[in-house]
């Protein structure tokens, strides 16, 4: 897999969301045009009938010799396109593409696909991996007319491992949801409980979609960092999880917190996913999360 593509699986098993982020040697305006102009979409994605650039308009995409998608434009802005999306009559899902210029002179495309169910994760994830690679070929001038059909040849690849070994655990915390949210969704709040058994922990948290967080414990040689993927106050917080230690950084992992009322307290569900070949990483993380959530519960109870 191309290291420039960062993948995440968030949401729940019943309501999963795929997120892919990739940088291109291009501009955001060029990426936008490649994602909305029918004649350009045909070069890397599929043959479009209709207009995918006006809110409310409907269109179809011939993905290959057999599959056809239908869509309706829900949002079309300078920096984002959101559509309803159904392939071969399957239940509709929501697909969103966002593009922005980067500080290094390139462009970044973030693709979010909120699926109708878990059965489509492998097929959709593999297809988007190949489609984003095909887009790279088009933007770099390395593509030929066969790119669009080649983009549909994925077998799911790494996405199969995301589905195989997710970690999920829950804890009821003796505090109102607003207090739990403030503890997990701000640098000051995190500082009160995250790795509090170490004296040198530093925390940065820009809590907004696309914002960066970084939690470092220099003496222990551990860093956790990434971008926020979803921020829904008092309900849901999702973020990339890049664990860095002497063995190097992890890849394509994500964590999601979900909060609901539980009597006078709050039920906090943590879901952690990654491209794990077996269940060992999930069990190792389980121990860490149980300890960490215990610290959160203890601080808020006090």
Place 162 in a pLDDT band, splitting at 50, 70 and 90.
Answer: very high
Q: What is the pTM of this model?
A: 0.91
3-class SS at 72? strand
pLDDT in tens, 235-265: 999 999 999 999 999 999 999 999 999 999 9
Q: Which CATH number characterizes residue 189's domain? A: 3.30.530.20
- Do 153 and 36 belong to one domain? yes
pLDDT of residue 16: 97
- Do 148 and 173 belong to one domain? no
- Do 59 and 193 belong to one domain? no
Query: Which of residues 143, 163, 183 is at a domain's end?
Result: 163
Query: Which of residues 128, 163, 198 is at a domain's end?
Result: 163
pLDDT of residue 143: 63
Residue 171 lies in domain? 165-301
Q: Is the pLDDT of residue 160 over 60?
A: yes
Q: Is the pLDDT of residue 150 over 60?
A: no
Domain count, the chain: 2
Is the Cβ–Cβ distance between 294 and 196 less than 8 Å? no
Is the Cβ–Cβ distance between 201 and 217 less than 8 Å? yes
Q: Is the pLDDT of residue 124 over 80?
A: yes
pLDDT in tens, 69-87: 999 999 999 999 999 999 9
- Do 158 and 180 belong to one domain? no
- Do 11 and 151 belong to one domain? yes
Element (DSSP H or E) covering residue 205 = strand 202-205
Average of per-residue pLDDT values in the chain:
92
Average pLDDT over residues 187-191: 98
């Amino acid at each position: 897999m191309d290291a420039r593509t960062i993948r995440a699986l968030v949401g729940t098993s019943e309501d999963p969301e795929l997120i892919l982020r990739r940088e291109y040697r291009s501009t955001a305006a060029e990426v936008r045009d490649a994602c909305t102009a029918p004649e350009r979409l045909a070069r890397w994605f599929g043959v479009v009938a209709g207009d995918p650039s006006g809110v409310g308009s409907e269109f179809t995409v011939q993905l290959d010799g057999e599959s056809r998608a239908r869509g309706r434009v829900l949002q079309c802005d300078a920096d984002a396109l959101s559509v309803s999306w159904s392939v071969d009559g399957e239940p509709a899902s929501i697909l969103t593409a966002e593009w922005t210029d980067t500080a290094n002179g390139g462009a970044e495309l973030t693709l979010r696909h909120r699926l109708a169910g878990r059965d489509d994760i492998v097929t959709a994830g593999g297809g988007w991996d190949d489609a984003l690679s095909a887009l790279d070929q088009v933007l770099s001038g390395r593509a030929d007319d066969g790119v669009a059909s080649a983009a549909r040849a994925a077998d799911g690849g790494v996405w199969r491992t995301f589905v195989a070994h997710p970690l999920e655990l829950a804890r009821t915390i003796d505090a109102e949801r607003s207090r739990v949210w403030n503890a997990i969704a701000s640098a000051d709040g995190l500082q009160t409980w995250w790795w509090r058994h170490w004296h040198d922990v530093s925390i940065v948290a820009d809590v907004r979609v696309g914002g960066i967080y970084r939690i470092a414990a220099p003496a222990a040689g551990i860093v956790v960092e990434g971008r926020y993927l979803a921020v829904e106050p008092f309900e849901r917080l999702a973020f990339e999880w890049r664990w860095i230690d002497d063995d190097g950084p992890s890849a394509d992992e994500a964590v999601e917190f979900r909060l609901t009322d539980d009597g006078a307290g709050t039920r906090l569900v943590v879901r952690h996913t990654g491209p794990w070949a077996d269940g060992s990483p999930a069990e190792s993380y389980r121990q860490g999360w149980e300890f960490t959530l215990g610290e959160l519960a203890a601080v808020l109870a006090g």
